Amino acid sequence: MDIVALLVIVVVLVAVVAIVTTPLRGTHRERASSQAADEIAELEARKEAKYREIRDAEMDLRTGKLSVEDHRVLDRQLRAEAVVILKALDDAGAEVP
């Protein structure tokens, strides 16, 4: 067999392997990207829920359901939890307003 024919066969085989494995290589990246997007979406939902809890506590203070001292303790706790969520969003690469 001629050396040129052997080189052509090798090149064709490498091209076929590269074409066949392209979707397999892209799947891992897409899956990692999808997981990161899911994590960010979950953190965004947790952030909004925490903000809602803070607003509810403020409303409870205004309507007299919470004393000033109880509100202060609850507000401090809720805001600390919100900071943890915001840091997680920052670490995940999301833009935190």
pLDDT score of 18 more than 70 = yes
Percentages of the chain per state (helix, strand, coil), in multiples of 5: 90, 0, 10
Per residue in 19-53, pLDDT (tens digit) is 887 777 666 666 667 788 889 999 999 999 999 99
Cα separation, 47 vs 3, whole angstroms: 65
pLDDT score of 97 more than 60 = no
Instruction: Provide the pLDDT for residue 95.
Output: 59
The model's pTM is 0.64
Question: How many domains does the chain divide into?
Answer: 1
The answer to whether position 49 is within a domain reads: yes
- The domain containing residue 88 runs over which residues? 3-92
The answer to whether position 83 is within a domain reads: yes
Instruction: Provide the pLDDT for residue 27.
Output: 63
Instruction: Provide the pLDDT for residue 59.
Output: 96
Per residue in 43-88, pLDDT (tens digit) is 999 999 999 999 999 999 999 999 999 999 999 999 999 999 999 9
Cα separation, 70 vs 16, whole angstroms: 69
The answer to whether position 97 is within a domain reads: no
